[in-house]
Structure 1
Amino acid sequence: MRHFFSWLILGILGFTLVTACNHDASQNISSLPKQPTAECRMVKHTMGETCVPIHPQRVVTLSSCTLGNVLALGVKPVGTTNEVYYDENSLTSVKGATKGIKLVGISQPNLEAILQLKPDLIVGVDWYKPIYPLLSKIAPTVLGKIDFPNWEDHFSFVAEALGKQEAEKALVDRYYQRIEQLKLALGTRYQDKKISFIYIGSGRISIDAKNSFAGSILNDALLPRPASQNIDSPYGAIDVSLEELEKADGDILFVTTYSSGGKEFLAEKRQEPLWKSLKAVRENHVYYVDFMSWAATNMLGTDVVIDDLFKYLVNTP
């Protein structure tokens, strides 16, 4: 499978999708009759149109970006997939709101586990097109797109699927109000500064591009980026070698780690002369942030990123 990092930066599933259930479970689901929905409304999605419950009570989400948006809209799903090992700290952008939600797969949905939850609506992204016929046998299923930097489009899609358009509008308005508050608090302090954001995994360093989730928020806040990051990238980020580390430099450097070896790799690289030569390192303007928040690709993640920008750019001397 492709590297998990690419998904979180772009929101495009990089894994080779195969059903996580055993063969017998898939056959059993295939034989299920299509589930009738008494009161429903039509929702357009990437697989066509589906009649979804007017007031769904048992929602299953496929992908953490969908999960965060569902939670932001005030709905707690009964089950979800996730792209990393799931525990109460795996999605810190949701601030503990995942407690009690059943894990139904790491990247690949376990169809049998979903069936046991008896959902009345399944909401996800179109990475799961190959198993859509099986999912739609379990419950009405709608699959949307996720495309950076237009992460709001998926939020809007999820709101439509849940019938939560009023809540969606209120949250979008709140996001832009917070952006305006941040811009006002920043004033002209950073107009001549460069804000860098990099990701460090096991054995790799990547610099953020402006079409990533975090990049779109920095752009909305009118925070200037280094030339190397003020570009679009197919994966929302660009891998660099240690010798190219100057591309990561800026007046302010935000750093996050991902994968099990990311922290160890960062600790090793921080001892390198090239790391110590970075301007942000020399001037003590390096700030470590949470990966699952800065790559959340959902409305809940925006609050954490904006909170961090207030914390480090406004409230830090």
Structure 2
Amino acid sequence: MRISRLTQGLMACLLIACSTVLRAAPIDINDGQHSVHLPAAPQRVVVLEFSFLDSLAAVGVTPVGAADDGDAKRVLPRVREAIGQWRSVGLRSQPSIEEIARLKPDLIIADLNRHQALYKDLSSIAPTLLLPSRGEDYAGSLASAELIGKALGKPEQMAARIAQNRAHLKEIAQQIPGGAVVLFGVAREDSFSVHGPHSYAGSVLQAIGLKVPEVRANAAPTEFVSLEQLLALNPAWLLVGHYRHPSIVDGWSKQPLWQVLSAVQHQQVAEVDGDTWARNRGVMASEQIAEDTLAILKGGKAVQSQ
């Protein structure tokens, strides 16, 4: 049966109207602290942590603003490429309320750890989600990504991206000799902090089948250690993210005790990008960390962020 052009036009209009209604449907979400009501899927989003940028990139959403410490290069390159340009609203630790307000957001995503004291100010500007990011592990970051997907009106798209992420890490795990003891740490000028099994990077390493030593029972996710304490951990592989050179590790490498480390003796010390491994979290960050690890343990060279 042939359908007239008029009927076709009416059907097309009906489909457009239905899709508009669906897009405009309100969204109610609980972030664990507050119930947040969004009249419709937000179009102007401001995020205050790198992991939230990662979540937006995972579903193709560009924020109008982000707390980026005034240095967009700290954000994972693949995230920057996916979302394009945004306006900086200052430091992650102390974002500018005035800059956020100027952007007229319809959703703000803030870090429960960093920004709880700012919640009243932020929520007076726009509906605000407080989600854990700083100090969160791999599983926790995916849970936050799921909530962000719902808040953006893209729950199915986010679920599919997370499933792809898990499959990708599983594939990498199958290519890495299981059970190797690997430790990541951040080297500053005068300190070295190891990221244990409960840290973000440590939990990603565990997700791909590696063992991550703990400084002590019930240790914090990251712990500052001396060279002697590092020797007591004595990982088979030591991955170092230098925030800048020279760092404390540059000095340690000239000491006799450094040469006793198993990783040093077997030439299994590698440099990774400190921003990627320590400051970024999320779907894309976990894939970058896993891919870097595979490249290093298989004898290649880690991808360095620029």
- Output the TM-score relative to the length of structure 1: 0.77
**Structure 2 match to 1:115:** 101
In 1: Cα distance, 2:131 partner to 2:80 partner: 25
> Is the CA contact (8 Å cut-off) linking 1:53 and 1:120 kept in structure 2?
no
1:198 aligns with 2:185: yes
In 2: Cα distance, 1:143 partner to 1:210 partner: 25
Shift of 1:315: 4.9
Q: Which has the larger radius of gyration?
A: 2
Within the candidate set 47, 68, 80, 1:61 is matched to: 47
For residues 243-271 of structure 1, the C-alpha deviation after alignment (integer angstroms, 9 at most, x for no partner) is: 3230353222111123xx56433322222
**Structure 1 match to 2:207:** 220
In 1: Cα distance, 2:162 partner to 2:71 partner: 28
1:274 aligns with 2:257: yes
Shift of 1:93: 5.2
The code of the aligned residue for 2:125 comes to I
**Structure 1 match to 2:159:** 169
Of all paired residues, the percent bearing the same amino acid is 27
Within the candidate set 247, 254, 267, 1:264 is matched to: 247
**Structure 1 match to 2:16:** none
* 1:249–1:304 CA distance, 2 compared to 1 (3 A): same
> What RMSD over aligned residues (CA atoms) do the two structures have, in Å?
2.4
For residues 8-47 of structure 1, the C-alpha deviation after alignment (integer angstroms, 9 at most, x for no partner) is: xxxxxxxxxxxxxxxxxxxxxxxxxxxxxx8632121244
* 1:179–1:59 CA distance, 2 compared to 1 (3 A): same
For structure 2, the residue ranges without an aligned partner over 5 or more in a row are 1-23, 302-306
For structure 1, the residue ranges without an aligned partner over 5 or more in a row are 1-37
Shift of 1:201: 1.8
**Structure 2 match to 1:233:** 219
Within the candidate set 159, 164, 168, 1:178 is matched to: 168
- Output the TM-score relative to the length of structure 2: 0.80
* 1:248–1:197 CA distance, 2 compared to 1 (3 A): farther
**Structure 2 match to 1:40:** 26
For residues 274-307 of structure 1, the C-alpha deviation after alignment (integer angstroms, 9 at most, x for no partner) is: 2222121122111111122223221121111111
> Is the CA contact (8 Å cut-off) linking 1:203 and 1:262 kept in structure 2?
no
In 2: Cα distance, 1:110 partner to 1:310 partner: 39
When the two structures are aligned, how many residues end up with a matched partner?
A: 271
